[in-house]
Amino acid sequence: MKSVYGLSQTEFEEFFISNGEAKYKAIQVYEWVYRHKITEFSNMKNVSKKTISLLEENFEIDSLKLVLKQDEASVIKYLFELSDGNQIEAVLMKHDYGNSICISTQVGCNMGCAFCESGRLKKVRDLETHEMVLQIMDAEKLLGERISHVVIMGIGEPLDNYNNVIRGIDIINNDKGLAIGSRHITLSTVGIIPKINELATYGKQINLAVSLHTADDKLRNKLMSINKVYPIKELIEAVKYYISKTNRRVTFEYVMLKGVNDGDTDAEELSKLLRGINCYVNLIPYNATSYKEFEKSSKETILRFYDVLKKNKINVTIRREFGSKVSAACGQLRSNYKEE
């Protein structure tokens, strides 16, 4: 049986029309499911018994199983179990502007980035749309507060699960759905160029973040296998195309790895690469794990790198460190749990 959380409003309209019902009932269902957060279809007070029966025959109101929760003052990390027994994680971060959640899009990941914990346990399968939406729904329920921002940056590569992710964004953004504004939704990718080009014509003003981590092809080949397929020059051209179509500023993510990509020369080369592009660089202190050989750059090194970029008129921020006490590197909670 299908999850009620897996269909866009348009798909629900098509469902009702194909079953001899009026398409406006899709809006009614959306409001009851996402606004009132019903747990039984029979709780829908302005819907006929015939329609309720139709829904009960075709859909279920499901949820994820919470396996483990870790939290500190500003971060809560959830390990969820799916209906097939696979596990994923979501990270909730409390900001002064609201609650943000980082959700997963796949069980495992095949991108093979050398510094990322997610890729250590290879991709098992793509997540279905409802499994992404439920990470937000269940986290809101557990937190008892509204989530205002969504970052699609957890386990997996979103553009490797493009269709399900786009349907998920449609539900998250829908006024009758979770009603989270498109500019409060960020999608992060390692740089699958054909899908970046497709996303450029998607039509929603979401934020795009690109994992770059170096301006040098040889080093990026070592850090990120995807670069052997889509090298930096081609990736930058795709980003420029995305900006030309959306008029949106792009974020380049840059994990600071001690002695690997954090020198003055690295900063100068990055400045040269990004000069003139409507973007900013997000410097990310590395969250070390026991399974990787990399170390976090010192605060002094990160600040010096920041200063070089600023001197070269590159917009840059340093990400606030979240979750150092709660296994908050992408995939770390899941992999630690499986190891145990």
DSSP per residue, 299-315: HHHHHHHHHHHHHTT--
Catalytic residue among 89, 131, 157, 253: 89
Residues 215-263 have pLDDT tens digits of 999 999 999 999 999 999 999 999 999 999 999 999 999 999 999 999 9
CATH topology of domain 65-339: TIM Barrel (3.20.20)
**Fold match flag (2-60 vs 65-339):** no
Q: What percent of the chain has pLDDT over 90?
A: 87
* Percentage of the chain exceeding pLDDT 70: 93
**Identified catalytic residue from 102, 116, 279, 330:** 330
Measured at the CA of 312, the angle between CA 310 and CA 317, to 5 degrees, comes to 30
Higher pLDDT, 74 or 13: 13
Domain residue ranges of the chain, discontinuous segments joined by +: 2-60, 65-339
Confidence of residue 73 (pLDDT cuts 50, 70, 90): confident
Higher pLDDT, 300 or 116: 300
Q: Could you tell me which residue, 332 or 315, shows the higher pLDDT? A: 315
More confident residue, 199 or 292: 199
Domain 2-60 coded CATH 1.10.150.530: yes
* Residue pair 115/48 in contact by the 8 Å Cβ criterion: no
Residue 101 in this model has a pLDDT that exceeds 80: yes
At 337 the pLDDT is: 47
pLDDT for 118: 72
Label residue 288 by pLDDT band (50, 70, 90). confident
Nearest one of 257, 245, 266 to 308, comparing CA atoms: 266
Q: For residues 335 and 3, what is the distance between their CA atoms, to the nearest angstrom?
A: 27
Output the pLDDT for position 293. Answer: 84
Question: Residue 122: which pLDDT band, with cuts at 50, 70 and 90?
Answer: confident
More confident residue, 73 or 18: 18
Residue indicated by tokens 């959640």:
101
| Residue 108: pLDDT band with limits 50, 70, 90 | very high
The residue-averaged pLDDT of 207-218 equals 98
Question: Over 70: is that where the pLDDT of 331 sits?
Answer: no
Which of 176, 117, 183 shows the shortest CA–CA distance to 151?
183
Predicted confidence band at 325 (pLDDT cuts at 50, 70, 90)? low
In the annotation, is 330 catalytic? yes
User: Residue 287 has what pLDDT?
Assistant: 85
More confident call, 56 vs 324: 56
Is 117 one of the catalytic residues? Answer: no
Asked if 91 contacts 332 with a C-beta cutoff of 8 angstroms, the reply is no
pLDDT for residue 16 is more than 50: yes
Instruction: Name the helix (H) or strand (E) containing 131.
Output: helix 129-143
Q: Are 100 and 136 in contact (CB under 8 A)?
A: no
Is pLDDT at 109 greater than 80 in this prediction? yes
Q: What is the model's pLDDT at position 177?
A: 96
| Amino acid identity for residue 63 in this structure | S
Task: Say yes or no to pLDDT of 326 above 70.
Answer: no
Residue type, 223: L
pLDDT band, very low/low/confident/very high, at 339 (cuts 50, 70, 90): very low
